[in-house]
Structures are given as C-alpha cells and as structure tokens.
Structure 1
Amino acid sequence: MRVEIWSDIACPWCYVGKARFEKALAGFAHRDEIEVVHRSFELDPGRAKGDTEQVVDMLAQKYGRTVEEARGMEANVAANAQAEGLGYRTEGRDHGNTFDIHRLLHLAKARGLQEELLTLVYRANFAEERSVFDDAVLAGLALEARRAGGAARALEDDPQAGAPELRADEREAAELGANAVPFFVLDRRYGISGGQPAEVFTQALEQAWKDREVPGLTQVGGDAAACDADGSCEVPAASASDQRV
C-alpha cells in the first residue's frame, strides 16, 4: 500500500506531522508493506530566491501580530514538536522560497536518498543553527546524505532539474483538492489533512489496509494544524486539544 505525503519544509506542522505519522507506522502490523512517497507543495512560491527573513518577523507581519505574539505562536509549535521528541528553535530561523529544496529532494529521490535528505533538511531548518535557504548549507546537507552530493551538483548545473517533478506534484495536489499541508493520501483512498495525532494515522492505516479494494478518496480525521496555500500556519482553535498544546 502506498502513502503519499504532500509537504513543504517551511511548514512546521509538516515537520510535526511526519513524526506523528512515523510513530503510527512503526506500530502498524503491515508497516513493511507500506511504501511512503514524499510529494512537493510550495507554501511561498512567489517569494524570490534569496529573499529570506526571520520567521518571527514574517509571522508578525503576516498575521498583524506583535513580535511577542509571534513568539508565542512559535512557542506553541515548539511545544508540539518537543512532545514528539523533536528539536525546535523558536528564534533565529529563516523563512524563504523552497523551490530549490524541492528540486533537490526530487533529484535525491532518483538516487534513493529522498527520505534521508528530507530528514536532514527538516532537522537543519527547525532544530539547528543552519539556514536551508543558503545554497552552501543545502549542498552540505546533500553531502551528508551519502551519495546525494551529485544531486546538489546537478541542481547547480541545471536550473530546471527536478522542476517538472515538482510541478507534477503540485498539479496532483490541486486535482486531489489539497490546499493545505501536510496532506496524507493513503492508497489514493483516504486523505488526511494536517498534523493529526498519531492515533488518527493509526486508525487511517488500519482502515485503508482493510478497504484496499474500495475506490475513491475519503477525508478522515477532523481539523488539525496545517499550513495552507497562502502560507498560513496557525492552529485552528477547535483543534487545540488534538494538537497537545
């Protein structure tokens, strides 16, 4: 059975949701028969390459909040991340265009290294003192992912390398009605939006496995924190308890 995950590394709920899904998958009886495929979704495609700003400043401007309120928003996400055993820096993180990152992940996928590189990029962006929007940092992460250094060189040599795969992912997301990430699709039958609790992913995996011959896409799980197509990443008030705030 295939599980496809649409996400953007700029999305904190994608970072948290990935950990929650992996927790559910680890306890799933048929985990060895699950193929996980990561798909691309850009949250800020209109931002120019190299145009970066501090996340706290971006949040304050985007939502019309004070800097202190924006710091509170980041602290809320950090609490959710830390509850999943993830590192999360609330200060000093950059926000920028993720086009090159998605392209690199697609090139790494062709080498069987997408999962490893994605984990490294998430960690660097959210937990470490490294900006993944810096070309040198991104190339260094590719080198850390064993043989993915060649993918980084291909990215430099061809400004469109990986772009067709990225655009194909985004077209599929639109066709499936995905307007926020993370968005999980289980065997093209069940859709889960947002960084749901691990228990929701467990139930969905079990149901999708049971109903493998049933066609059509069904949405499961209630509202959960997600980042939508305009880059908004606020926590829905009605789902605060689900997010373990």
Structure 2
Amino acid sequence: MKIDIWSDYQCPFCYIGKTRLQNALAQFPHADEVTVNYKSFELDPSAERDIPLNIYESLAQKYGTTIEQARQMNVNIGAQAAQEGLDFQFDSMILTNSFDAHRLMQYAADQGKAEEMNEALFRAYFTESRHIGDHATLIDIAESVGLDRQQTTAMLESEQYGDLVRRQEHLGSQLGITGVPFFVINDKYAVSGAQPTEMFTKALNDIWTEDHPLQMLGNSADGDMCTDDSCAMPEDRK
C-alpha cells in the first residue's frame, strides 16, 4: 500500500494529521507493507524568508480579525495537538518561507531519512520555535537525523531539488489539492484534512481488504461445517 501526503511544515493540521495517520499505522497489522511518501505543498510560496510579524499578527492581518481572536484560534488548535501528544508553542513560532525546508525534505528522502526529517522539521517549527527558512538551522536539523553536514550545506547552497518540489506542487494542483494535509492512498483514494485516527484506521483496513480479497481453497462443499441450524457432514463421508 502506498500513501502520498501533501503538507507544509507551517501547517498545524498537517502535523496533527500526520500524527493521527502514524497512530493508525501503529495499530495496522500490515504496516510493514505500507510506504509513505511526503510531497511538497507551500501554503504561501511568496512568503519572505524573514517575516517581522508573530503568528497572531500574521493571522489577524490575513483574516481581518483582532489579535485576540487570532490567539483564540490557535488555543483551539493547540488543544487538538495536545490530544495527540504534540506541544505547539505558538507564542514563539518563527514565520518564514518553507521552500528550502521542502528541498531538504526531498533530499533526506533520497538519503533514506524521510520519516526522521519529516518529523524533525515539524517539531523544529511547532515545538522548538526554530527558523526553518534559515540554512544554518536546516543544516543542524539535517545533521541531527544523520545526514552529512557538508553535503547538506552544498545541496542547500545550490538549486537542487527545487524542480522536484515544484513538480510535486504542480501534481497536487492537477489533483485538485487546494489545502493540506491531503492524503492519497494507492493513487486511488483521497483523504482531506486531519481526520480522526479512527477514520484512518478504517480506511487502511477497508483498502487492504479490497486489495487482498480472500481466496477460497478447495471445494467448500467437501468440508465439515456447522451453521446456526446444524452441524453436517458431506453425504459420501457419512
């Protein structure tokens, strides 16, 4: 089974949704046969690398609300995150452009560090209040998950993986993705938003059953069996 996830590292529901999917996979008996791919989606591709606003000021400006209303919105989101064991530090989050973080994610995937990097980037932004648009910060994050520091530096200083990020974003657009998180399972089924863990669990089980139907071995008429009404043996064996 293949699961493609489009997300952005400054999207709170992306972190929550990813965690709920992981919780569902932890209960799924065939999890070792599931491949998860992390796809790029920038919420604001035009954002500056250094933004002189905090999260509340940015939200108030974007949605035309007061600072207090923006703060309350995040209190509610933080409560949802806490239910999943996540610690969101909205007061100290550093807004930025996430393009280089996405490039680093794709580089890490090629190095076999997709899961570690995906989690590290979310945690760096939402819990540790680190500047994930800053190359020095990204290099430190890369090193923390086992990537070579010098090679990561060279990659970030180049334009590598930029085209891949754009292609993934374009594919998302072709699929009609306008918001994240967005999950595509086996290139056939879509799940939009940070759905409850139970919904992901049901989806995994339903899709697995559909793709792996039971195969009847032998002739069912030859086997002894009981029903609600009686227990019977085939005539030629009585």
Normalised by the shorter chain, which TM-score bucket?
0.7 to 0.9
Indicate the larger mover: 92-101 or 147-156: 147-156
Alignment of 1:79 onto 2:74: no
C-alpha separation between the residues in 1 aligned to 2:34 and 2:156? 33
Matched position secondary structure for 1:181: coil
Instruction: Give 1:116 deviation, angstroms.
Output: 0.5
One-letter identity of the residue aligned with 2:202:
Q
TM-score, normalising length: structure 2: 0.85
1:187–1:212 contact (8 Å) kept in structure 2:
no
Cα deviation digits, residues 188-223 of structure 1 (max 9, x gap) = 11100000100111111112212338xxxxxxxxxx
Structure 2 partner of 1:207: 206
| Structure 2 portions without partners, runs of 5+ | 213-238
Structure 1 partner of 2:229: none
One-letter identity of the residue aligned with 1:94:
I
C-alpha separation between the residues in 1 aligned to 2:120 and 2:204? 26
Instruction: Give 1:125 deviation, angstroms.
Output: 0.6
C-alpha separation between the residues in 1 aligned to 2:176 and 2:148? 32
Matched position secondary structure for 1:138: helix
Matched position secondary structure for 1:5: strand
Structure 2 partner of 1:13: 13
One-letter identity of the residue aligned with 2:77:
V
Superposed, 1:41-120 pairs within 5 Å as 41-51=41-51, 53-120=53-120
Cα deviation digits, residues 16-35 of structure 1 (max 9, x gap) = 00110000111011111000
C-alpha separation between the residues in 2 aligned to 1:18 and 1:148? 26
| Structure 1 portions without partners, runs of 5+ | 214-245
C-alpha separation between the residues in 1 aligned to 2:40 and 2:90? 25
Matched position secondary structure for 1:128: coil
One-letter identity of the residue aligned with 2:47:
R
Matched position secondary structure for 1:46: coil
Structure 1 partner of 2:222: none
C-alpha separation between the residues in 2 aligned to 1:113 and 1:127? 20
C-alpha separation between the residues in 1 aligned to 2:198 and 2:165? 30
Structure 1 partner of 2:153: 153
Structure with bigger helix share is 2
> Which protein is bigger by CA-based radius of gyration?
2
C-alpha separation between the residues in 1 aligned to 2:208 and 2:190? 14
Structure 2 partner of 1:130: 130
C-alpha separation between the residues in 2 aligned to 1:60 and 1:92? 16
C-alpha separation between the residues in 2 aligned to 1:112 and 1:157? 21
CA RMSD of aligned residues (A): 1.5
Instruction: Give 1:90 deviation, angstroms.
Output: 2.3
Instruction: Give 1:52 deviation, angstroms.
Output: 5.3
How many pairs align?
A: 212
2:96–2:131 contact (8 Å) kept in structure 1:
no
Cα deviation digits, residues 153-177 of structure 1 (max 9, x gap) = 133331x211121112112111211
2:135–2:156 contact (8 Å) kept in structure 1:
no
